[in-house]
Amino acid sequence: MSIDTDKEAWLNMLADKQLGGVQLWANGLTEITKSYAINGIPRFMLFDTDGNVISLDAPRPSSGKIRGLI
């Protein structure tokens, strides 16, 4: 999830980096940042397919440590 305020720049970055998976845009500091106490970026969280929280402080997706959570 991005908290960028420039949606066009964010979309361009997604295309440039060819990022897959689910990418969400929150348009700045919004209710979701308050609800999950996101006070800095990057912040990695992991949810299962039903939306249940697996980790609110997950390792980077590129880290080998994430595999154990998945």
Annotated domain spans of the chain? 7-65
What pLDDT does residue 12 have? 94
Q: Is residue 28 within 8 Å of 34, Cβ to Cβ?
A: no
Return the sign of the alpha-carbon dihedral for residues 67, 12, 25, 57.
positive
Start-to-end CA span in the chain (Å) = 18
Q: Is residue 69 within 8 Å of 55, Cβ to Cβ?
A: yes
Ordered alpha helix ranges (H), 1-70: 7-17, 31-35, 66-69
Q: Tell me the mean pLDDT in the region 4-23.
A: 89
Question: Structure tokens of 23?
Answer: 């990418």
pLDDT one-digit tens code per residue, 16-64: 999 888 888 888 888 888 888 887 778 888 889 998 999 988 998 888 8
What pLDDT does residue 50 have? 94
What pLDDT does residue 66 have? 86
What pLDDT does residue 9 have? 93
Q: What is the pTM of this model?
A: 0.62
